[in-house]
Structure 1
Amino acid sequence: MDFVNPQSSTVIFGFDSAWTDAPKAPGAICAVAYDDHGRVQFHEPQLVSFAQARRLIEEFRKNFAVSLVALDQPTVVPNAAGSRPVDKVAASLVSFVGGGVQPANRSKIGMFCDNSPIWSFISGLEATEDPIQARTASAGHFLIEVFPALALPALDDGFAQRLRAPKYNPQNRKKFRLEDWQAVARVVERSAERFNVPGLAEWAHQMRNAAQPRKSNQDKLDAAICALIGLFWRAGPTAHSAMLGDVDHGYMVTPISDATWPRLRQAAIRRGVPTSQVVDP
């Protein structure tokens, strides 16, 4: 993955919301910011509630022509039960590698019911939810839904093999593998190096060397992955990212690779889910 579309006056936020607004289990947010001259700065992840995240975004984005919030939580959930079509498409890959996709529907109290914090967050954010426009816009404030577990297999072919999804959640003590934690942090570090974001690369290197990562560290690492997904969408080769689904029924923006795209594309065709993936000339 190479940096092919230079950015300026642009800030990309990665927000791992943790889905609910539990004080003891906050989300995490970080930012990759480019000034008017294209110089980049990484703002390290910090733990936040939905309200804190929105205040941080609003205060920070004032200095940039373009702001993009890459959020790890479903943002379009019209279905009362079951799961969205895009969830099933994502599961075709995520389940294959040994992970899981939590179905999004409005019956989930605290996550997607009418009073869930995600809706007041999105309403207060006042961002345009148009991933295609967000990809090339020279001005504006945008929101996209992303999913780190879907992105990781595209960022490392080793994660794309059957049952090879990294087990890097320290909270799941039975399945957590320190070598998987290190591998994910290394993928973030390597991706940051390719996009020439040294601050993110250095931070990921520190995360890789953590002897005993905590759940809060994973939330921060996922926030960094969210920011990278947004960076891939804005600055990477067009053919290496795709939008699955649509803004009416639910969608996800994700990096893709030769190891992941055929499976996702076949699942989308099977289920009649639209995709937006452009082959570079």
Structure 2
Amino acid sequence: MVAETTSIIGFDSAWVDKPKAPGAVCSIRLTEDGHAEFVKPQLASFTQALEFSREEKRHSERCLVALDQPTIVPNASSCRPVDRVAGSLISWLGGGVQPANRSKIGMFDDAAPIWRFKEALGATEDPEGARAATSGLFLIEVFPAMALPTLEAAYFGYKLGPRYNPDRRKTFKLEHWRGVLAAISRFALVEGLAGIANWAEKAAALEKPRKADQDKLDAVICALVGYQWLVKLREDSIMIGDLKHGYMIAPASPDVRAKLGLAAKKRTVPLD
């Protein structure tokens, strides 16, 4: 068996630990002979995602967990500066950003599962360090919706963001579900990630996707964001915010970078 050099884990945590509504986790394994393996997304609680991450690290020199949940939340109320910058783009696309603050019980209070997960994981939260490292366990915060207008340029425009959450029956569009998966498949094929492209093709064939299917899809997007951060050129991604007040990592086309840059400058939020 060929040893893996890097494992990139995508974890859509669902923010709270509800047994009937778990998140999802998957991984991209990059081997020392240049091959890529894909561990398909599976539903997972925080505990299960922790065990999944530990197992991935056992077989990888470098392991990155790309988590779809705020990982640094020092503010007692309102929202983080990075949330305001991200919100400027996401709201323009027609979506929304849930504000993160410590008053949200079950999500970010002192007893919230995210903090237990981080402590037990024991990962280093240093996005730039993860890029440079050849070994170690790292954690970054990502946001799937931020990735979509870069993965698919057609989603960059006023109210043009895809509506692919099956739980939102009034706005969900099957063609948007399939469009997001087509964008993922195209990216994966270019990068030689055949396992992801095959998985996306099967997911696109679903006639009635469920929320659990979207959670799995978001986990895959998380993993791809982590992949781009580690493997692609630095200018292909963006870091908004900082390690003191909160941050996000996202792919960034020139258009996305320009729009986020204006919002960050207006709010004096660090960018890259």
Match of 1:200 in 2: 196
Matched residue type, 1:161: G
Match of 2:234 in 1: 238
Match of 2:72 in 1: 76
Matched residue type, 1:227: A
Tell me which of 271, 274, 277 is aligned to 2:270. Answer: 274
Tell me which of 239, 243, 249 is aligned to 1:247. Answer: 243
Distance in structure 2 (CA, Å) of the matches to 1:94 and 1:268: 14
Distance in structure 2 (CA, Å) of the matches to 1:91 and 1:38: 37
Distance in structure 2 (CA, Å) of the matches to 1:244 and 1:201: 29
Matched residue type, 1:18: A
Match of 2:88 in 1: 92
Distance in structure 1 (CA, Å) of the matches to 2:132 and 2:213: 32
- 8 Å Cα contact 1:30/1:227 also seen in 2: yes
- 1:223-254 per-residue CA deviation (whole Å, 9 max, x = no partner) reads 00000000000111221101110011000000
Q: CA RMSD in A?
A: 0.8
Post-superposition shift, 1:116? 0.4
- 1:159-207 per-residue CA deviation (whole Å, 9 max, x = no partner) reads 1110011000001111100000000011111111111110011001111
- 8 Å Cα contact 1:9/1:38 also seen in 2: no
- 8 Å Cα contact 1:92/1:264 also seen in 2: yes
Name the SS of the counterpart of 2:8 in structure 1. Answer: strand
- 8 Å Cα contact 2:56/2:63 also seen in 1: no
- 1:73-127 per-residue CA deviation (whole Å, 9 max, x = no partner) reads 0000000000000000001110000010000000000000000000000000000
Match of 1:188 in 2: 184
Distance in structure 2 (CA, Å) of the matches to 1:126 and 1:103: 25
Match of 1:29 in 2: 25
Structure 1 gaps, min length 5: 1-7, 277-281
TM-score after normalising by structure 1: 0.94
Q: Are 1:173 and 2:169 an aligned pair? A: yes
TM-score after normalising by structure 2: 0.97
Structure 2 gaps, min length 5: none
Aligned residues: 269
Match of 1:51 in 2: 47
Which residues in structure 2 correspond to 1:83-122 (within 5 Å)? 83-122=79-118
Match of 1:147 in 2: 143
Distance in structure 1 (CA, Å) of the matches to 2:203 and 2:117: 29
Name the SS of the counterpart of 2:60 in structure 1. Answer: coil
Tell me which of 131, 134, 142 is aligned to 2:130. Answer: 134
Name the SS of the counterpart of 1:14 in structure 2. Answer: strand
Q: Are 1:218 and 2:204 an aligned pair? A: no
Residue identity (%)? 51
Name the SS of the counterpart of 2:63 in structure 1. Answer: strand
Matched residue type, 1:118: I
Matched residue type, 2:156: A
- 8 Å Cα contact 1:157/1:259 also seen in 2: no
Matched residue type, 2:229: W
